[in-house]
Amino acid sequence: MIGTGIGNLAAGIYLIRDGGFKGEQITMMGLETHGANDGDTVKAYENEYSNQALSNNKGFLAKGGRMLNEETYENLWDLLRSVPSLDNPGQTVTDDILNFDHAHPTHDVGRLIDHNGPRIHGDKNDYKHMQFNNKDRFLLSKLMLTPEKDEEKLNNISIAEYFASSPHFFTTNFWSMWQTTFAFKRASSAMELRRYMNRMILEFSRINTLEGVTRTPYNQYESIILPMRKYLEDRGVTFINNRKVVDLEFKDTPLRDDIIVTKIKYEEVDNDNKAGEIEVDENDFVFDTNGSVTDSSSIGDFNTPVKENMEYAPSAALWKKAAEKFYSLGNPDKFFDDRTQSEWMSFTVTTNNHFLLNEICRITQQEPGNALNTWIESTPLMSIVVHHQPHFKAQKPNESVFWGYFMYPRRNGDYVQKPIIEMTGEEMLEEFLGHLAAVDPAKDNVRNHKQEIMDSIVNVIPVHLPYASALFNQRAVGDRPDVVPKHSKNLAFISQFCEMPFDMVFTEQYSFRAAQRAVYTFLGIPLSEMTKMHHYEKDPKVMARATKTMFR
């Protein structure tokens, strides 16, 4: 296993649960233990960011947050029913999450916020209205109804290009909500938007409240990753967390068609990059994480802006070397060679009391745990997420933690006149407080208590993620390799950058399903026995609600 993210963790469990493997037959190699499902104290990231001198290693960090979905994450719920809870003996991780979510259901009130405050005024700007015109409806319906066999008609077409004849689409409440819920940009792939509209059509009619969002009791690292690692470690799986795989060697076959890995080359990063290699037996399988949305990220703190990491994504660099040898392994540059399509910045705020959290709740008119608030008039497009507290097990009773993100980090702030990417954590907080105060119905309650707020700050951690939305970059059919490529005898790809029919990327579901597909393919288990997926786009009741929503 190259990479220790959620996809390979899932593959390891599938090998053991469905394939009869013993844990000692599995070795997982990687550099970071957090991946995209992260969340921990800042100190826990010191090894990952050891090359950056930070003035403050206090507080908590979540580069982002993942929204689960009970109805469409079929593989995730099925597999996590096999993983014991770390917190509740006798329960599974699936039990933990769904029990928590059902006890704390999401109902977003302040989903969109403009200069008047949350859009809940009952007029035409009320965020329950999609605000489509007939041209918008026609184009969106046409996109959704494009058959899968005709996906290539959307090759390399951006959402902006697809809706070029109806620019009104980008002024609607729907677009404001959709782009910030799923992290699409106008430059993103229309092909991927088509998949989302089909796979998530059940959520279309409740996009304004995000009632379909399933939340974990704590951050995803503690609620999902750690139990999965414990399951594997208890069964003898070997984890090597200091190893960077830099190349693969392949067998030179007569027709140069068969893909057979014969050697894995690596460096030990905490041992002066000492080189090593692993001979791959003809009966071995190699599972590669061919791309990660958190690769090449860079971190700052309250007093320190990020120093942009210009490195080509390491996981994709390995994929690129393999793709240069075999024509069927896709085109990683489509996803990792244009940061303008994919970058955004997040910031995590830790406070030593709940004053700021209470002000946020008062102004957005919702309690912690109710999903996402977007300031739609902010120039760099700012959103925040306030999770149910505590979001970290190590969080003290007096501490609050929330995170936010800017989708356009090269743009200037509205209250701090410099590009977001150049801001310290303190300046990002200033930018956020400016927007919060601007819609404060208590007439400057936030401004009048600004010193009290600043005194409560433990840290504000900015993170630049150059590839956060890379999986939505414009692409063509064939740019992503199959999970098990044609003619591959022992190499599989498990990530958000492999190709599977129908399902949608930027979800744990996609990684889990790719893992199941890889394991079942290699072990000869019929793919017809894979976890069954729902097709709500074929459900008449769901489609009737969606049609009604189009005119709402």
**What's the confidence (pLDDT) of residue 64?**
85
**Chain center to CA of 246:** 25
**What's the confidence (pLDDT) of residue 513?**
98
Decide: 534 and 72 in contact? Cβ < 8 Å: yes
Tokens matching residue 207? 């996009």
Q: What is the pTM of this model?
A: 0.95
Please say whether the dihedral angle defined by the alpha carbons of residues 391, 393, 396 and 397, taken in this order, is positive or negative.
positive
Report how far residue 197's alpha carbon sits from residue 229's, in angstroms, rounded to the nearest whole number: 33
Q: Which domains does the chain have, with CATH numbers?
A: 344-465 (3.30.9.80)
Instruction: Tell me the CA end-to-end span of the chain in Å, nearest whole number.
Output: 48
**Cis preceding-peptide flag for 481 (omega within 30 of 0):** no
Tokens matching residue 439? 């819609």
- pLDDT tens per residue, range 304-342: 999 999 999 999 999 999 999 999 999 999 999 999 999
Residues 6+ apart with CB under 8 A from 505: 192, 471, 472, 496, 497
**What's the confidence (pLDDT) of residue 357?**
97
Sheet holding 382-385, edge to edge: 117-118, 112-114, 372-375, 382-385, 400-406, 344-351, 457-465, 298-299
Report the catalytic residues: 196
Decide: 100 and 123 in contact? Cβ < 8 Å: no
Low-confidence ranges of the chain (pLDDT < 70): 32-35, 40, 43-55, 121-125
**What's the confidence (pLDDT) of residue 244?**
93
**Chain center to CA of 5:** 12
Burial 15-54 (b: 16+ CB within 10 A, else e): bbebbebebebbbbbbbbbbbbbbbbbbebbeebbeebeb
